[in-house]
Amino acid sequence: MNIYHPVYKCMDKYAMQQLFKHLPFLDTAEYTDYYLNKSLSRFSHQPPEMFYLRYDLPELNTGITKNLNEQLMENLGFPSIDYALVFKHRLPQPIHIDGHSFVRQSSLNLPLIGYENTKMIFYNLKSKDEPCLHTDAFYFNEDSVEYNCELPGDNNWVLVNTSIPHRIINSDPQNPRITVCFRFKTNPTYEHLSNLIDKHLKC
């Protein structure tokens, strides 16, 4: 599988826009309260050897998630939400690209709690031939990548290019970061969704 991607330099403002983009027009408070209440009971215990826990949200066609889906489709032209996940990160993630049988191109994320003193770091592959371990994602050794740039954690909606090597770093294991993530049908590229956001912001 070819997972080679363009190299973006973090000092280039245009390049950073190819990695993440905020959606300031989406409400945060209501969604934060709802998804946090839905997931906290699922995360009451985390074995110390596990660097993350995952909860698959079952209710995509009702309530607040339905409203979010309709808002994204009607106002931005996004495809429909395919599925939603809530992750709890207590330890730093391995460096990875999202996906199972194929690369997942983009994700709409909202950090809920524990985002203080956290960051998402993006990396460039040193070579297009770098090997990776494929299990629940495409994982890379640290010596096969180089630092690109980072996105500080905060309680704001952000579209992320998940086809680029990245990971979450949490400097406080006693304060896990919990994030809700939405993936879209047809697996749209980050560039496509980013352009739709730009078009909306210009209106």
pLDDT in tens, 66-78: 999 999 999 999 9
pLDDT in tens, 140-188: 888 889 999 899 999 999 999 999 999 999 878 888 899 999 999 999 9
Give the neighbor-by-neighbor strand order of the sheet with 52-56. 20-22, 158-161, 106-113, 177-184, 81-89, 52-56
Q: Band of the pLDDT at 47, cuts 50, 70, 90? A: low
**In whole angstroms, what is the distance from residue 152 CA to residue 43 CA?**
23
Q: Band of the pLDDT at 52, cuts 50, 70, 90? A: low
Residues 72 and 31: beta-carbon distance below 8 Å: no
The CATH homologous superfamily of the domain defined by 13-202: Alpha-ketoglutarate-dependent dioxygenase AlkB-like (2.60.120.590)
Q: Bigger pLDDT: 87 or 73? A: 73
**In whole angstroms, what is the distance from residue 145 CA to residue 8 CA?**
13
Residue-range domain boundaries for the chain: 13-202
pLDDT value at residue 73: 97
pLDDT value at residue 49: 45
Q: Band of the pLDDT at 1, cuts 50, 70, 90? A: very low
Q: Bigger pLDDT: 46 or 22? A: 22
* 100 three-class SS: coil
Question: Residue 63, by phi and psi: left (phi above 0), alpha (psi -120 to 50) or beta?
Answer: left
pLDDT in tens, 115-132: 998 999 999 988 876 667
Q: Band of the pLDDT at 112, cuts 50, 70, 90? A: very high
Instruction: Report the pLDDT averaged over residues 35-57.
Output: 67
Whether residue 105 has pLDDT greater than 80? yes
Whether residue 81 has pLDDT greater than 90? yes
Instruction: Tell me the C-alpha to C-alpha distance, in Å, between residue 56 and each of 32, 35, 39, 59, 183.
Output: 16, 11, 9, 9, 12
Question: Residue 5, by phi and psi: left (phi above 0), alpha (psi -120 to 50) or beta?
Answer: beta
The two structure tokens encoding residue 156: 């704001």
The residue to which tokens 């905020």 are assigned: 22
